[in-house]
């Protein structure tokens, strides 16, 4: 089966939830016999990205501008035209912005599967015009695709309520990584194993890094540090605010974007993972933290609650004092030696990438059988 993938910057080693999802999913579909071609965006596909490209998957770089918003819009338009020429068995469009062109794909005679990763129009960074385009993308993607995947029941309920369309709930997943001893990454950032709070996310307003920076000293974790992992664009105003807030505290560490062994070392040796975001689809970073057995806390938005942590691991979104309380309680909680192993087994039972790939392939086959 020939599958073409559209709606992401690229992978591996490119930051973003959709990118991480694709990085895990498509090698497994390749191993199941799919011929996978991924349409990637030219600003992210430099010599380094080409060198680390996943074997057995074709990557086609199409031009896109570097301007936020216009990047996804123009690249998706060109990607659908390219798909119309290449004629894959299935065009899989990820996210509601790129899904704006699902009607064009159908006009070109393509079978379209759309994955709804979350209502991106709720993100704080978009202006009114961009949010309108994203809402239109959601509507057109849902109504014109041959099948719809949602990564959480919350999104599935949204699709049913707004558009009266069914969907298949196929979540994000995790691999269970090996234990990684403290090494050069912790040494480089001056970190002690088990004595830092970790956050891994894109540096965008809805991730609420400033809430976490404000809450950390209130949590009273003497001798601990707060580690924020995420790309630090020099031109981004929000990143500038995070930098300024971090500079006021010697206990806040900004590592920049991390991947591979360095990121695994940071996950594997943290004391607590914290996710204070106001918007998620199904949070891959939280699942990855749990795959390391890491005690984790999250804001009480529906997407985070769907992960189904016990109630004491949630705090009220946007409430810094409650975040500080929750952080203190979980960081200082006494645990037995097997607690991390139990967490790993639990998350693997719910979010297994192999099962996710099997379900996705079955959906592809179902779509192809209809025509």
Interval 315-366: pLDDT, tens: 999 999 999 999 999 999 988 878 999 999 999 999 999 999 999 999 999 9
Identify the pLDDT of residue 288. 94
Cβ atoms 241, 203 nearer than 8 A? no
Q: Give the chain's radius of gyration (CA, Å).
A: 20
Beta strand 196-200 with 225-229 is parallel
Q: Where are the domains of the chain?
A: 2-173+352-370, 184-350
**How far apart, in whole angstroms, are the C-alpha atoms of residue 271 and residue 44?**
33
Tokens 């689809």 — which residue? 281
**How far apart, in whole angstroms, are the C-alpha atoms of residue 27 and residue 33?**
10
Q: What is the mean pLDDT of the chain?
A: 94
CATH of range 2-173+352-370; options 3.30.70.20, 3.40.50.2000, 3.40.109.10, 3.40.50.2300? 3.40.50.2000
**How far apart, in whole angstroms, are the C-alpha atoms of residue 223 and residue 216?**
12
Nearest to 288 by CA among 173, 179, 151: 173
Quick: pLDDT tens for 88-135.
Answer: 999 999 999 999 999 999 999 999 999 999 998 888 778 899 999 999
Nearest to 30 by CA among 287, 359, 357, 305: 357
Per residue, what are the HEC states of the chain? CEEEEECCCCCCCCCCHHHHHHHHHHHHHHHCCCEEEEEEEHHHCCHHHHHCCCCCCEEEEECCCCCCCHHHHHHHHHHHHHHHHHCCCEEEEECCCHHHHHHHHHHCCCCEEEEECCCHHHCCCCCHHHHHHHHHHHHHHHHHCCEEEECCHHHHHHHHHHHCCCCEECCCCECCCCCCCCCHHHHHHCCCCCCEEEEECCCCHHHCHHHHHHHHHHCCCCCCEEEEECCCCCCCHHHHHHHHHHHCCCCEEEEECCCHHHHHHHHHCCCEEEECCCCCCCCHHHHHHHHCCCCEEEECCHHHHCCCCCHHHEECCCCHHHHHHHHHHHHCCCCCCCHHHHHHHHHHHHCEHHHHHHHHHHHHHHHHHHC
User: Is the per-residue pLDDT at 69 higher than 80?
Assistant: no
Identify the pLDDT of residue 258. 94
Instruction: Provide, rounded to the nearest whole percent, the portion of the chain with pLDDT above 70.
Output: 99
Predicted TM-score (pTM) of the model is 0.84
User: Is the per-residue pLDDT at 35 higher than 80?
Assistant: yes
Quick: pLDDT tens for 131-149.
Answer: 999 999 999 999 999 999 9
Class of domain 184-350: alpha beta
Domains 2-173+352-370 and 184-350 share a fold: yes
**Mean pLDDT of the region 43-56:** 90
Identify the pLDDT of residue 337. 78
């Amino acid at each position: 089966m020939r599958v073409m993938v559209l709606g992401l910057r690229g992978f591996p080693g490119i930051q973003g939830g959709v990118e991480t999802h694709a990085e895990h999913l498509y090698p497994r579909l390749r191993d199941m016999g799919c011929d996978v071609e991924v349409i990637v965006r030219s600003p992210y596909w430099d010599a380094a990205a080409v060198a680390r490209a996943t074997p057995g998957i074709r990557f086609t770089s199409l031009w896109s501008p570097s301007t936020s918003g216009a990047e996804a819009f123009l690249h998706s338009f060109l990607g659908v035209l390219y798909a119309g020429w290449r004629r894959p068995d299935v065009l899989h469009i990820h996210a509601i912005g790129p899904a704006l062109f699902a009607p064009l794909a159908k006009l070109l005679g393509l079978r379209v599967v759309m994955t709804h990763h979350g209502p991106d129009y709720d993100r704080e960074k978009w202006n009114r015009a961009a949010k309108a385009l994203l809402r239109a993308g959601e509507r057109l993607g849902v109504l014109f695709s041959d099948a719809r995947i949602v990564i959480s029941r919350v999104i599935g309920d949204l699709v049913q309520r707004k558009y009266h369309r069914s969907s298949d709930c196929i979540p994000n997943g995790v691999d269970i990584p090996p234990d990684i001893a403290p090494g050069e990454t912790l040494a480089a950032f001056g970190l002690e194993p088990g004595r830092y709070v970790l956050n891994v996310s894109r540096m965008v307003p809805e991730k609420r890094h400033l809430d976490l920076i404000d809450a950390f000293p209130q949590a009273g974790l003497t001798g601990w540090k707060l580690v924020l992992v995420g790309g630090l664009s020099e031109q981004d105003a929000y990143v500038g605010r995070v930098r300024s807030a971090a500079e006021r505290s010697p206990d806040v560490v900004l590592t920049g974007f991390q991947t591979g062994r360095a990121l695994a070392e940071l996950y594997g040796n943290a004391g607590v993972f914290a996710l204070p975001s106001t918007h998620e689809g199904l949070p891959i970073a939280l699942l990855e933290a749990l795959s390391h057995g890491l005690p984790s806390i999250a804001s009480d938005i529906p997407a985070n609650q769907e992960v189904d942590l016990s109630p004491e691991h949630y705090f009220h979104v946007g409430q810094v004092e409650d975040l500080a309380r929750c952080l203190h309680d979980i960081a200082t909680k006494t645990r037995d030696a097997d607690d991390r192993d139990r967490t790993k087994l639990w998350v693997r039972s719910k979010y297994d990438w192999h099962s996710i790939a099997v379900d996705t392939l079955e959906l592809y086959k179902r779509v192809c059988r209809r025509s």
